[in-house]
Amino acid sequence: MSVQRTELLYEGKAKKVYATADPELHVIEYKDDATAFNAQKRGSIAGKGEVNAAVATRIFEFLAEAGVPTHLEALLSPREQLVKAVRIVPLEVVVRNRAAGSFAKRYGVPEGGELDPVVVEWCLKDDALGDPMLNDAAAVALGIVTPEELETLFELTAEVNDLLKPFFAARGLDLIDFKLEFGVDPDGAIVLADEISPDTCRLWDSATGDKLDKDRFRRDLGGVEEAYQEVRARVLTRTEQDAEIVREHVAEREAWELGEAHVGHSHGGANDQDHQHPHAGAGRHTSAGARGDAGARTFNAVVDVMLRRSILDPQGRAVEATVRRLGHGNVRGVRVGKRITFAIDGELAEVEAQVAALATDLLSNPVMEDVQVELEPAAG
């Protein structure tokens, strides 16, 4: 493919981004330059640009096959990719399957310990501030993302981890941790962006535990170029498991989406219609007689709260793993939530509005949780 790159739009520590004649497309050029510790350590890794371009391309293509939206269009040359022109969300999302790096240092634990549940951390992408850590509320309050974007971003992050762990395992590599970045495409959709490579992952050889990633550069371990070449060779080798990993993932997502559709989707939030009108379930459980009844009476309210970021729901995942291990391999998409019940006195219309407001404002966290309300007249 020949695409003419035009002006240099941005130069980062490991990549350059160029415009093209098409405003919706950019070219990324991968450099051999390497930095660590917020660029306090600088160097170069011969051949790194080509390795990372090839590795990131293969991985993004694999993820796209499994339905993960990405910015990648094509590999143009050994160190250039054609990508969608996206607005990069200034967050670095780090996924940790095992303790290592700054996590091990921060909490004083040895490297290599399994993390259960998987730990997701995210930082503001700002070198001048030293990439400070954020949480949900800070990311939303600072105007970096909307709660909906955050939700999408974390669902995609969980999907990427679910896909990449077995992808690397099939190549004799343990995915210890990695960093993702996302972009917003011209239609407003969140897509996976930046790169996934030995620069942005920790990869340990499954048999020997050898580090095959940028830690060899960060920690002056030697054999840096060889490690990058080794990762390229393994990633570019097709394995029999690849298609199976994609198939299982797609089946799991479909099961989960079915569960979602069944549970219903009543997002909390001040602008949400559901705020004023409780979930349809309220109507279903409220008899026509009660509706016609003016005057106060007692209702039983049931408020169900579920983590929105359900793929990362650690309790649901733990229950599912146990259930499946015990022989119920046909169970998928387990989610664990909480139910709050109470009695409330008043007229139906008032009570409906009051319970809906309570549910979204006090009983759940609209950034992280979905809420559903049911009301029925108390017996007697």
Nearest approach, Cβ of residue 36 and ligand TMP (Å): 8
Nearest approach, Cβ of residue 39 and ligand TMP (Å): 9
Q: Long-range contact list for 137-143, CB < 8 A, 24+ apart?
A: 137/367, 139/91, 140/367
Nearest approach, Cβ of residue 201 and ligand TMP (Å): 5
Please give the Cα distance from 201 to 165 (Å, whole number): 11
Q: How many CA atoms lie within 13 A of 62 on its CB side?
A: 29
331: its two tokens: 């169970």
Helix %, strand %, coil % of the chain (to 5): 35, 30, 35
Nearest approach, Cβ of residue 276 and ligand TMP (Å): 43
Three-state DSSP state, 142? coil
**Positions 173 through 192 that interact with ligand TMP (CB under 6 A):** 177-179
14: its two tokens: 């490991």
Three-state DSSP state, 313? coil
165: its two tokens: 């762990």
Site string for ligand TMP, 335-374 (x = CB under 6 A): ----------------------------------------
Question: Among all residues, whose Cβ is closest to ligand TMP?
Answer: 101
With contact defined as beta carbons under 8 Å apart, do 296 and 354 qualify?
Answer: no
Which of left, alpha, beta for 143 (phi over 0: left; psi -120 to 50: alpha)? Answer: left
235: its two tokens: 């990633």
Three-state DSSP state, 278? coil
User: Is residue 94 a contact residue for ligand TMP (CB under 6 A)?
Assistant: yes
Range in contact with ligand TMP (rule: CB under 6 A) among 65-73, 199-207, 219-227, 348-356: 199-207
Nearer to ligand TMP by C-beta: 149 or 177? 177
Size of the site for ligand TMP (CB under 6 A): 11
CA 211 distance to own-chain centroid = 25
What amino acid occupies position 203? L
* 101, 172, 259, 281: which one binds ligand TMP (CB under 6 A): 101
Nearer to ligand TMP by C-beta: 234 or 279? 234
User: Is residue 103 a contact residue for ligand TMP (CB under 6 A)?
Assistant: yes
Nearer to ligand TMP by C-beta: 212 or 351? 212
Nearer to ligand TMP by C-beta: 149 or 195? 195
User: Is residue 15 a contact residue for ligand TMP (CB under 6 A)?
Assistant: no
* 5, 48, 202, 275: which one binds ligand TMP (CB under 6 A): 202
* 52, 200, 266, 364: which one binds ligand TMP (CB under 6 A): 200
Nearer to ligand TMP by C-beta: 165 or 285? 165
With contact defined as beta carbons under 8 Å apart, do 226 and 48 qualify?
Answer: no
Instruction: Name the residues that contact ligand TMP, by CB under 6 A.
Output: 94, 100-103, 177-179, 200-202
